[in-house]
Structure 1
Amino acid sequence: MKMTKENILKEGILEQYVLGELSATEEQAIEQLRMSDKNIASELEVIETNFEKIGLENAIAPPVGVKVNLLTKVSNSNESVEEKPNSYKFWLGIAASFAAFFLLSSIWLYSELNSVKQDFEIVNQTKEALQEDLEGLTENYNETNKWYAAISNPDTEQYILRGNIKSPEAKIVSYVNHTNKIVIVNTEKLPELDQDHDYQMWADVNGEMINMGVISKDKQLMVMNYIDNAESLNITIEPAGGNDHPTVERLISNVYLD
């Protein structure tokens, strides 16, 4: 490496010197230039000041245990010097103590960063779960409000379809709004059917049964098709998925509309 003044200033050699990355020969050359060249001395002073400032701004206090261990080692080094004066060993002990200090600090910092990262991931997972729960609650709230608004509407009339002898336990509450053309049924009291059959609702219009839809097995409240000019509502048991015409002999309930 050329140690001319121009190269030293342009190629970052002074920074390498401050960081201790130069060879002993190169360090000696820089020290000689520092004593003989005011520009080099001034530039070194600026670099050292900047490095010191960066170090102080980014310093992180390690756990108390690290400091205690360091002071103990320094104290032991001092006692060793008193028993057997040896300047070289003394400063070597100090250097080793600082090296251990920075090593322990780095390990501690790495551990803390990993812990923070794990905590951050847990927070994100919790946030996502809470967001899903909130969306579910909001959807349920909106759905409930929709049903309540439809059922409590002053134009909505209530009709109860009670089971006949073929299904005496059956009871269906229907809500009909001719103004908004809505039919809602509460199927909570319908007896369960096997997987091969479904309940189906029909509207009688001038003697013709018109399909209003299959009643779902997993819903207590559901909207059925509104049929104009319906004279009655009827429930039959049909093959799973529904039928294109009612099975009259399997009629379990009906009610006449006003």
Structure 2
Amino acid sequence: METGILELYVLGDITPQEKLQVEEMAAKHPLIKAELEEIELSMELYAQENAIEPAEALRNRVLGSILTNFGDDSTFTTTASEEKNNVITLPAAKPNSFYKYAFAACLALLIASGIAIMGLYNKLQDSYSQIATLQNNNQHFANQVNFKEGELEVLRDSSFKFLKLQGTQHSPTSGLTLAWSPAKKKVWIDLRSLKMPLNDKGHQYQLWALVGGKPVDLGVFDKDQDSTDMKEMKSIASADAFAVTLEPRGGSASPTMDQMVVIGKF
């Protein structure tokens, strides 16, 4: 069949004779019928994606033009198929049929291209999301590796001293192991050895270094019963002793003495 006639059939822009021929061919050939259904579905999807409500005046002009074209098409005459030497020939197309077929073919190609582009866009969006997730995971793993390397440094470096902070009268069963390197000014606490009551959401534990009788803030931490890590605190080069108090979340400028839970010195 002529190129573009199936698209024109779906658009309704062919003569009754051509319409009859298309329907006969579709009835005989399942491939042609399937292609018609695919064209109808593509044009329906395209119309739904690009539907725009026209102005009232423009709608009237378009409807008037369609009615006029239908009136003109009804005056066209068609010639019957002729059989010569057992060869069936289709009726000759109207002079302007080529342009109609070409337009219909271009429209079908445009619809198919639009659908393909939308599919490609969705795949690209999924790829970007997967890449972002992988980057976040890689950053998380890199942070974990760096943290574990810091823990190994504490265990291997002979400059670190280990101190067991003992519970006070306020919390006699509490305890905490602390690692300190005066040379590197680094302080770590071992959360695996942490024995303290769970703190609520409004409070945190705060580590202090006692330097010349004055407390120096070394940071805050929470009691996490599932933690098996070490935590690096603020740096300090010299200290006479270390202690932990329970303070409002975020820490305090000075320790609350009646809330001291552990203390110890080298």
**Equivalent position SS for 2:117:** helix
Task: Answer whether contact 1:202 1:209 (CA < 8 A) is retained.
Answer: no
The one-letter code matched in structure 1 to 2:220 is I
Q: Which of 198, 201, 218 matches 1:192?
A: 198
Q: Which residue of 1 aligns with 2:208?
A: 202
Unaligned runs of 5+ in 1: 1-64, 71-79
Counterpart check, 1:158 vs 2:162: yes
- Alpha carbons of structure 1 residues 117 and 246: separation in structure 2 relative to 1, 3 Å: closer
- Alpha carbons of structure 1 residues 66 and 148: separation in structure 2 relative to 1, 3 Å: farther
- Alpha carbons of structure 1 residues 83 and 68: separation in structure 2 relative to 1, 3 Å: farther
Q: Which of 124, 141, 145 matches 2:145?
A: 141
Counterpart check, 1:221 vs 2:263: no
Higher helix share: 1
Unaligned runs of 5+ in 2: 1-30, 37-79, 225-229
In 2, Cα distance between equivalents of 1:233 and 1:177: 13
Q: Which residue of 2 aligns with 1:110?
A: 114
Deviation at 1:166, TM superposition (A): 2.6
- Alpha carbons of structure 1 residues 118 and 86: separation in structure 2 relative to 1, 3 Å: same
Q: Deviation digits for residues 152-180 of structure 1, max 9, x if unmatched?
A: 32221222223344324433221111221
In 1, Cα distance between equivalents of 2:88 and 2:202: 98
Deviation at 1:235, TM superposition (A): 1.9
**Equivalent position SS for 2:92:** helix
**Equivalent position SS for 1:224:** coil
**Equivalent position SS for 2:127:** helix
- Alpha carbons of structure 1 residues 215 and 169: separation in structure 2 relative to 1, 3 Å: farther
- Alpha carbons of structure 1 residues 224 and 185: separation in structure 2 relative to 1, 3 Å: farther
Q: Deviation digits for residues 86-114 of structure 1, max 9, x if unmatched?
A: 97833459857676555434322322122
Larger-Rg structure: 1
Identity %: 18
Q: Which of 211, 229, 234 matches 2:216?
A: 211
Q: Which residue of 2 aligns with 1:234?
A: 243
In 2, Cα distance between equivalents of 1:217 and 1:249: 19
Q: Deviation digits for residues 107-157 of structure 1, max 9, x if unmatched?
A: 223221221122122212222232222223223322332333234322212
Q: Which residue of 2 aligns with 1:81?
A: 81
In 2, Cα distance between equivalents of 1:186 and 1:256: 16
The one-letter code matched in structure 2 to 1:255 is G
In 2, Cα distance between equivalents of 1:155 and 1:102: 79
The one-letter code matched in structure 1 to 2:208 is W
- Alpha carbons of structure 1 residues 246 and 114: separation in structure 2 relative to 1, 3 Å: closer
Deviation at 1:256, TM superposition (A): 2.4
Q: Which has the higher contact order (CA 8 A, sep 6+)?
A: 2
Task: Answer whether contact 2:186 2:234 (CA < 8 A) is retained.
Answer: yes
Task: Answer whether contact 2:208 2:218 (CA < 8 A) is retained.
Answer: yes
- Alpha carbons of structure 1 residues 102 and 248: separation in structure 2 relative to 1, 3 Å: closer
Task: Answer whether contact 1:185 1:224 (CA < 8 A) is retained.
Answer: no
In 1, Cα distance between equivalents of 2:107 and 2:189: 73
